[in-house]
Amino acid sequence: MKRKDKSLKTMLWTDKYRPKELSALDYHKDQAANLKNLTKDGDFPHLLVYGPLGAGKKTRIMCLLRELYGPGVERLKMENMNFTTPSNKKLEIMTVSSNYHIEVNPGDVGIYDRVVVMDIIKNVAQSQQLNVNAQREFKVVVLTGVDNLTKDAQHALRRTMEKYISNCRLILCANSLCRVLPAIKSRCLCIRVPAPTETEIVHILQNVCKKEDLSIPVEFASKIAKKSNRNLRRALLMCEACKVEQYPFTENQNIPDPDWQIFIKKTAARILQNQNIETLSKVRENLYELITNGIPSDIIFQTLLDELVANCDMEIRLAVMEQAAMYEHRMTQGNKQIFHLEAFVAKFMCMYQNMMQEMVGEF
């Protein structure tokens, strides 16, 4: 998700102005102070950091590691690790590591994540630090996307976390807590990272622009903040994109919507206009296009639903919502998303048409 291409002379603003120390963080200062307390005696429990996208989970984790080990953690190297499953399937996964920590996203290998989790932790935990004086006596394993781990992998974490606590600490990073097993939650210190408020984003945008020698009107900054949906990363990217498009900034400069959002809006309008087989097949094409362009299906579903429900009567809203919740759940269970998206669209068309007919009948 994040670009780490440092060979580029011009880094993205999101990476360039990423705070490197806990004391330099722009918001949630109390929490930063708490985290500092946590590392004061050179030791901390397993952590589970959770929050929405672009709230700064990763930034906080890196700051914490820096606080513990010093600037050495920023010397990162990428490495491909190989694993063999019990059924002799060879897996390869990319890890990012420094001398002190190793970061991996076990979700990359799909259902084989359990092998990765077990092997990595056991590897790290069983190799003791040679020079205890120079460093802490434990290493840190950062696992991202914990909420997307299979239940199997999460079970595998449980006892391992307790067993190897003397020379290995885990930092788990997740978007939401509900998919994390209670057994894991009870073994970690959970740290909530809420999204920054809009005023905080405005403040940060202004700071960044100042450092770049640009001037940004407050109105424009707050417009970006609003549009970013309190996602700091997106706000910075948007701001940078706007700068490329037109500088100096004007107050009512247009901030382009992402293409996919417009595309979904168009699809929704089409559904509301006409409910027949032809539209359905057109919608299918549109959905396929979205999926092949790599838009996550849950985001497609959510945006589409928001568009559709906004145009419904209160009476059928609950019914539509019920269906939507059901289809969305099935979509995450199954592995062919298009079926469920399309089934929902068809169901919605049917309900919408019934509603329209009833309304006509009443007159």
Partner 1 sequence: MQAFLKLKSGEAPSKPTSSTTILQNAKPWVEKYRPRTVTDVVEQNDVVSILEQCITGADFPNLLFYGPPGTGKTSTILAAARQLFGDIYKERILELNASDERGIQVIRDKVKNFAQLTASGVRPDGKRCPPFKIIILDEADSMTSVAQAALRRTMEKETKSTRFCLICNYVSRIIEPLTSRCTKFRFRPLKNSMIHERLALICKEENVNYDESALKTLVEKSDGDMRRAITCLQSCAKLASKGTPIDITTVSEVTGVVPDTWLEQFLTLCKNFVHYKDLQEFIRKLMLEAYASSQLLEQLNDKLVASKDLNDSQKSFIGEKIGVISFRLQEGGSEYLQLLELGLSLVKAFSLS
Based on CB atoms, which residue is closest to partner 1, 182 or 361? 182
Instruction: Please give the radius of gyration of the chain, using alpha carbons only, rounded to the nearest integer.
Output: 24
Q: How far is the CB of 321 from partner 1 (least distance, A)?
A: 5
Q: How far is the CB of 194 from partner 1 (least distance, A)?
A: 5
Based on CB atoms, which residue is closest to partner 1, 98 or 167? 167
Based on CB atoms, which residue is closest to partner 1, 38 or 109? 38
Q: How far is the CB of 244 from partner 1 (least distance, A)?
A: 28
- CB 240 within 8 Å of CB 273: no
Rounded to 10 degrees, the C-alpha dihedral 66/36/20/128 comes to 10
Q: How far is the CB of 37 from partner 1 (least distance, A)?
A: 5
Q: How far is the CB of 316 from partner 1 (least distance, A)?
A: 11
Q: How far is the CB of 148 from partner 1 (least distance, A)?
A: 8
Q: How far is the CB of 103 from partner 1 (least distance, A)?
A: 20
Based on CB atoms, which residue is closest to partner 1, 168 or 208? 168
Based on CB atoms, which residue is closest to partner 1, 55 or 140? 55
Based on CB atoms, which residue is closest to partner 1, 10 or 186? 186
Q: From CA 190, how far away is CA 98, in angstroms rounded? A: 24
Based on CB atoms, which residue is closest to partner 1, 29 or 329? 329
Q: How far is the CB of 219 from partner 1 (least distance, A)?
A: 22
Query: How many C-alpha atoms does 112 have within 13 Å on its Cβ side?
Result: 18
Based on CB atoms, which residue is closest to partner 1, 92 or 152? 152
Is the alpha carbon torsion for 155, 157, 158, 160 positive or negative? Answer: positive
Binding site for partner 1 (CB under 8 A): 34, 37-38, 41-45, 50-52, 55, 86, 118, 132-133, 136-138, 151-152, 155-160, 162-163, 165-166, 176-179, 182-183, 185-190, 192-195, 229-230, 298, 301-302, 305-306, 309-310, 314, 317-318, 321-322, 324-325, 328-329, 332-333
Q: How far is the CB of 268 from partner 1 (least distance, A)?
A: 15
Based on CB atoms, which residue is closest to partner 1, 286 or 323? 323
